Chains A and B, each alone.
Chain A
Amino acid sequence: MRRVFVTGIGIISPLGGTLSLNHTALKSGICGITTLELINSNFAGKLPVGEIKIETEVLKEKLKIKRLGLTRNSLLSLHAFADAVDDSQLTVNEITSFDTALIGANTVSGMCLTDELYKDANSKSNGSEYLFSYDGGSVTLAIQEHYGMKGIINTINTACSSSANSIMYGARLIQNGLAKRAIVGGSDSLAKYTINGFNSLYILSDKICRPFDSERKGLNLAEGAAFLVLESEETIGNKKVYAELTGYCNANDAFHPSSLSENADGPFLAMQGALQKANLQPHQIDFINAHGTATENNDEAESKAILRLFNKPPIFASTKSNTGHTLGASGAIEAVYSILNLTHQEVYQSLHYQTPIASTGLVPVKNYTKTPINHVLSNSFGFGGNCSSLIFSKA
């Protein structure tokens, strides 16, 4: 199997619109979770969310793309994609080559446009400009069409693990010889739809989220996008290389549509499979970027799975304490943060944590620390039992 390397990164999150802004914020322990402002909703002015404080129209102007039907979700994707290909110094020929794949992921698709969709779906309009922007594929197709990409193009939706799976799919295309490079990632924007959906399940916290704390009250929704340029070892040449993707695994918990099982089989199998793929022993993992949503169910189940797999659990943290939960984008955003752990040989503190969960006693990283990091495990678990883990290693 060919080795797969990361040669470019693009990211926009509540911590900022560039890689360096995200890095600085993580290092300084900045929390990007604020009160909802930009969505016309009863929750505005009240609910804590990880919101990118740039109006959709401004995002559009900044990107200088004049197409109809671009949703906030697509714009976030386009922003991160542009930075990733720039960072990897890909030429137009490389981007449009049959050998370059594009794998996107999202869960909200164009449903961020609640009011337009309501009118279009219920025949209360003559048709908005967004008729072709409501499905998940539309977000990736906005990139494909803008750049005229010709290689394998795909969109994945496995709920909150979506972009971990897009990274995995892209890597497998390279390893199976179906692409030389794959630009992989995902996005999601805040939406009235998901806010009300997660609220109806009683898993939104009305305070800033506290991953792995015994008093955690639920998650904070967030928005963002990240793309990585993955390249086969044969094509990288003398390029700057951030990290190697050495392990990955997708498994299903097969238990419940919206919560993880007591034994956390899905998370356990995903982490175990990723270790096997990377040909690593548990003790070789230096750090875990946990899924850590701060829901009652996730953090306890994830902790149990970690205790099952690791004799002595490695240090771990949840960057959702900085960003909130970016849903379909979180796998890619946290892949970027895992790569920052590797390239800077450091770990960032998990914020808002005080007391361990009684049944597991696990304590996340409490301070910014310089430490040798060779292998980082990044977890993404979603509704429908969809669990995926990735391992990035020092290149």
Chain B
Amino acid sequence: MSLFYIHQTVCISPQKTCETIDLDDVQLSKDNKLQAIEPNYDAIPPALFRRMGKAVRLASGAALPLLNTLSFNGIIIGTANGGLEDCIKFLNQIVDYNEGKLTPTNFVQSTTNAVASQLAFFSSNKGYNNTHVHRGLAFENAVLDAAMLLNEFPEHTYLLGGVDEISAYQYNIESLAGSYKTELVLNTDLYNSKTTGSIAGEGCAMFAVNKQKDGATAVLKAIGALHSDNQEEIIQYLTSFITKNGGSANIDLFLSGENGDSRYLPYYKACQNVLPNIPLKRFKHLCGEYATASSFALWLACKEIQHSTLKTILIYNNFRGKQHSFMLVECVK
């Protein structure tokens, strides 16, 4: 059973993916960060725009073109952190002003569901509205949610998205945790790096998804996810995922979430070895590392399928070597 068809997509990323799409002109990272190239946000009322944190802004910028042209039965967002910047701004107020009189704007914007609810307000969408925040599998759970809804309501169309932001605070916390490289590495050199850590990324990808084949860009055939740090278990899972979904003979691209972190490379290599003769492409040098980077990968897979002769792409991503996911994307037959 196919999960759903993907129709229109919009992606705001550190690369030229939004207003004009040009992935050959790779934009370079600065200070180990790949920051999103933001579009002009003319469609957002200025008073509203001023209050938006970056995650809400990126999601609004990516979703508005879709919300303005299509009608959706609901909105499903995956975001690990939502507006963490607003959250820490409010936290800093609490500490710096010793719990005095505080302004609530940052507090209201800091709730992770601020993204999905803002999109509902924009479009007066009173339908299903959900926010999945399960770290490196936040987007995958949003995908599964959409797939279940479309199984329950095959005539519906949903807005599905993944978004996360780099903020100074998030960067500080992740740096202390060893998530980013301590030496300067350019994204174009990411896969040559032998050290631990990756480079920070951010972005938002939005998808209009339904069960209608006509006019679709691609089809999401299957998704699987696993919590494990055991290579053998992951390989076993991948092998059975491939077998259940038509075998490896059909797969003509392995889109890998390799992120230049020596600690997690073995997982990517091991999965690659399951598909030894299949061309490899990587995407983290384009979007950087963040918990919902797999939403960028899904967008990229849709573009590859649209603009090449590729028929089936397997996306593999892992987050911190513990949360693993596989998505099988096919052309529309």
Number of interchain pairs (Cβ within 8 Å): 196
User: Is B216's CB within 8 Å of the partner chain A?
Assistant: no
Structural contact, B129 and A156, CB atoms closer than 8 A = no
Is A284 interfacial (CB-CB < 8 Å)? Answer: no
From A118, A149, A385, B129 is in contact (CB under 8 Å) with A385
Pick the contact of B145 from A115, A117, A169, A385 — CB < 8 Å? A169
* Cα(A338)–Cα(B175), bound, Å: 45
Max count, chain A CB within 10 A of own CB: residue among B98, B123, B126, B131: B126
In the complex the two chains form, is A385's CB within 8 Å of B95's CB? no
CB distance from B122 to the nearest CB of A (A): 9
How many angstroms from the CA of A154 to the CA of B143 in the assembled complex?
A: 12
Is A172 touching B152 in the complex (CB atoms < 8 A)?
yes
Structural contact, A257 and B114, CB atoms closer than 8 A:
yes
CB–CB A258/B108 < 8 A:
yes
Q: With an 8 A cutoff between CB atoms, is B112 at the interface? A: yes
The A contact surface, by secondary structure, is mixed
CB distance from A250 to the nearest CB of B (A): 5
- A residues in contact with B135, CB < 8 Å: 135, 137-138, 141, 155
Contact B176 A118 (CB under 8 A): no
Q: Is B111 within 8 A of A385, CB to CB?
A: no
B145 CB to closest chain A CB (Å) equals: 7
Which of B199-207, B224-232, B243-251 is the contact stretch? B224-232
Most B CB contacts (10 A, CB to CB) among A141, A252, A269, A386 go to: A252
Given A107-B111, A192-B94, A200-B102: A252 and B129 interface contact (C-beta under 8 Å): yes
| Least distance between B47 CB and chain A CB atoms (Å) | 13
Which chain A positions have C-beta within 8 A of B227? 141, 144-145, 149-150, 153
A309 contacts the other chain (Cβ, under 8 Å)?
no
Is A126 on the interface with B (CB-CB < 8 A)?
A: yes
Asked whether A114 is an interface residue with its Cβ less than 8 Å from the other chain, the reply is yes
Q: Which of B99, B108, B111, B225 contacts A192 (CB 8 A)?
A: B99
Would A154 and B121 be within 8 Å (CB), given that A118-B91, A121-B173, A386-B113 are in contact? no
Give the residue name and chain of the B residue nearest to A123 (CB).
B172
Q: Are A117 and B126 in contact (CB under 8 A)?
A: no
Q: Does B125 make an interface contact (CB < 8 A)? A: yes
List residues of chain A with CB within 8 A of the CB of B148.
172-173, 176, 178
A7 interface residue per 8 A CB criterion = no
Contact (A158, B102) CB under 8 Å given A122-B92, A125-B176: no
**CB within 8 Å for A121 and B133 given contacts A136-B112, A252-B117, A386-B113:** no
Residues of A153-173 at the interface with B, using a CB-CB cut-off of 8 Å, are: 153-159, 165, 169, 172-173
Q: Is B159 interfacial (CB-CB < 8 Å)?
A: no
Assembled-state Cα–Cα distance A178/B227 (Å)? 16
**Are B177 and A127 touching (Cβ within 8 A)?**
yes
Give A121 to B89 CA distance when docked, in angstroms: 10
Residues 234-275 of A contacting B (Cβ, < 8 Å): 250-258, 265-266, 269
B130 contacts the other chain (CB 8 A)? yes
Q: Is B58 an interface residue (CB 8 A)?
A: no
- The verdict on B134 contacting chain A, using a C-beta distance below 8 Å, is yes
Q: How far is the CA of A24 from the CA of B81 in the complex (A)?
A: 39
* Distance between B206 CB and nearest chain A CB, rounded to angstroms: 17
Given contacts A121-B173, A136-B133, A165-B130, contact A42 B98 (CB under 8 A): yes
Given A153-B134, A154-B134, A201-B104; A134-B173 close (CB under 8 Å): yes
B172 contacts A155, C-beta separation under 8 Å: no
A114-B94, A122-B92, A253-B126 given; A156·B117 CB < 8 A: no
Whether A310 is near chain B, meaning CB under 8 Å from some CB there, is no
Contact of A313 with B by CB under 8 A: no
The answer to the question of B66 belonging to the interface, with a C-beta cut-off of 8 Å to chain A, is no
List A contacts of B81 (CB < 8 A). 135
* Nearest B residue (CB) for A121: B169
Chain A residues with CB under 8 Å of B128's CB are 250-252
Cβ contacts under 8 Å, A158 to chain B: 113, 116, 129-131
- Residues of chain B with a CB closer than 8 A to A145's CB: 227
Contact of A156 among B102, B118, B125, B130 (CB under 8 A): B130
Cα of A173 to Cα of B141 in the assembled complex, Å? 11
With a cutoff of 8 Å between Cβ atoms, the chain B residues found around residue A111 in the complex are: 87, 91
9 closest residue pairs by CB, A with B: A384-B117, A137-B135, A127-B176, A197-B107, A121-B169, A252-B129, A136-B133, A200-B104, A131-B177
CB<8 Å pairs between A and B, sample of 19: A43-B99, A107-B111, A111-B91, A115-B95, A121-B170, A123-B176, A136-B80, A137-B80, A137-B133, A155-B135, A156-B130, A172-B152, A178-B148, A192-B94, A200-B107, A257-B117, A266-B126, A384-B114, A385-B121
Residues on B lying within 8 angstroms of A by beta carbon are 74-75, 80-82, 87-88, 90-95, 98-99, 101-104, 107-114, 116-118, 120-121, 123-138, 141, 144-145, 148, 151-152, 169-170, 172-177, 225-228, 291
Q: A114-B95, A118-B92 are in contact. List 4 more A-B contacts (CB 8 A).
A: A121-B170, A121-B172, A126-B176, A131-B174
